[in-house]
């Protein structure tokens, strides 16, 4: 099992936009933005798989199954849901009694935004992306993961539970 | 749906509060379509040269959350795609 280290993705992103002389190429800016999103994606999925399968079981096939069970679309939908001032009825029973809180909602806002940027970076050739946006996408992604890691255990567990076991 | 003037006012207030006026030059807003095909807002915060390396991630994250919260509170349902650029980057033309 080769769990991707989010710090390495951030380092890769920074290298892509800083090592050249002159303005970075569009391909490098776009890959940097994509890497910033993937750092948050993999960190989140790793947290979920570690929580429910266990860090010591990372080399088992069930860890791989859980890791691959979360789609980008579902992560995005859940992140949109937890940002709502009032949760949908099917989510309410699974939310912490005092809500998901500001750290999870800030993290969720960043995930949705970064996923949108990642999609544009990978597919939208009609826009020109720039270095400033890539630099700040990386900073935002790092801050989002710090907020996620600062979240109380109860709130994080509630979020990761719903991420892996979507309510029906 | 808010008009563009009100959107720019909100974004300017939130951006200046979180990023400081030393880093923010202006803001722009235009209609866009998100990756799912829904109506969205493309918001560009124009920053001053060198600001990208000075602005902290917590400030951009709070800006993002603040913009979303304020727009939602005023009834704007379109998803805001928040971008940053310097004036020079905005005026750059051609690909590389």
- Residue B89: pLDDT over 90: yes
What pLDDT does residue B95 have?
38
Give residue limits of the domains in chain B: 4-89
Model confidence pLDDT, tens digit, residues B37-83: 999 999 999 999 999 999 999 999 999 999 999 999 999 999 999 99
pLDDT band (50, 70, 90) for residue A1: confident
SS3 B46: strand
* Alpha-carbon distance values, B59 to A73, A88, A103, A106, B76 (Å): 27, 29, 14, 11, 23
Class of the CATH domain delimited by B4-89: alpha beta
**pLDDT > 90 in chain A, percent:** 95
Quote the longest CA-to-CA distance of chain B.
41
Put simply, the answer to whether A143 touches B52 (Cβ < 8 Å) is no
What pLDDT does residue B96 have?
40
Put simply, the answer to whether B86 touches A110 (Cβ < 8 Å) is no
- Residue A114: pLDDT over 70: yes
Contact predicate A138/A32, CB 8 Å: yes
pLDDT band (50, 70, 90) for residue B3: very high
Record the tokens describing residue A111, joined without a space.
């995930």
Q: Choosing among B23, B40, B60, which should be mutated to test the A contact, i.e. which has the most A CBs within 10 A?
A: B60
SS3 A71: coil
- Residue A78: pLDDT over 60: yes
C-alpha distance from B22 to closest chain A C-alpha (Å): 16
SS3 A30: helix
The runs of H, that is alpha helices, within chain B are 4-19, 51-54, 57-73, 87-91
Average pLDDT of the residues of chain A:
96
What pLDDT does residue B57 have?
98
Model confidence pLDDT, tens digit, residues A56-72: 999 999 999 999 999 99
**Whole-number Å distance between alpha carbons of A128 and A107:** 26
Q: Is A39 on the interface with B (CB under 8 A)?
A: no
Q: Is B95 on the interface with A (CB under 8 A)?
A: yes
- Residue B36: pLDDT over 60: yes
Model confidence pLDDT, tens digit, residues A84-102: 989 999 999 999 999 999 9
pTM value is 0.95
- Mean pLDDT, residues A116-127: 96
At CA A141, angle to CA B94 and CA A2, rounded to 5? 105
pLDDT band (50, 70, 90) for residue A21: confident
pLDDT band (50, 70, 90) for residue B93: very low
What pLDDT does residue A112 have?
98
């Amino acid at each position: 099992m080769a769990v991707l280290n989010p710090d390495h993705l951030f380092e890769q992103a920074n290298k892509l936009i800083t090592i050249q002389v002159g303005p970075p190429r569009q391909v490098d800016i776009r890959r940097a933005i994509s890497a910033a999103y993937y750092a948050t994606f993999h960190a989140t999925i790793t947290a979920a798989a570690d929580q429910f399968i266990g860090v010591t079981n990372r080399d088992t096939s069930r860890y791989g199954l859980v890791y691959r069970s979360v789609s980008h679309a579902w992560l995005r939908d859940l992140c949109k849901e937890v940002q709502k001032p009032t949760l949908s009825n099917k989510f309410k029973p699974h939310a912490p009694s005092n809500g998901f809180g500001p750290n999870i909602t800030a993290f969720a806002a960043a995930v949705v935004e970064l996923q949108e940027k990642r999609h544009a970076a990978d597919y939208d050739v009609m826009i020109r992306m720039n270095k400033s946006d890539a630099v700040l996408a990386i900073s935002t992604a790092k801050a989002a993961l710090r907020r996620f890691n600062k979240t109380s255990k109860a709130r994080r567990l509630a979020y990761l539970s719903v991420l892996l076991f979507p309510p029906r | 749906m808010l008009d563009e003037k009100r959107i720019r006012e909100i974004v300017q207030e939130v951006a200046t509060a979180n990023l400081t006026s030393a880093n923010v030059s202006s803001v722009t807003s235009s209609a866009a379509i998100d990756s799912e095909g829904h109506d969205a807002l493309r918001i560009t915060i124009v920053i001053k040269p060198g600001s990208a390396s000075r602005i902290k991630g917590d400030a951009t994250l709070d800006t993002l959350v603040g913009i979303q919260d304020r727009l939602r509170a005023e009834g704007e349902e379109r998803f805001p795609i928040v971008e940053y650029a310097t004036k020079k980057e905005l005026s750059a033309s051609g690909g590389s």
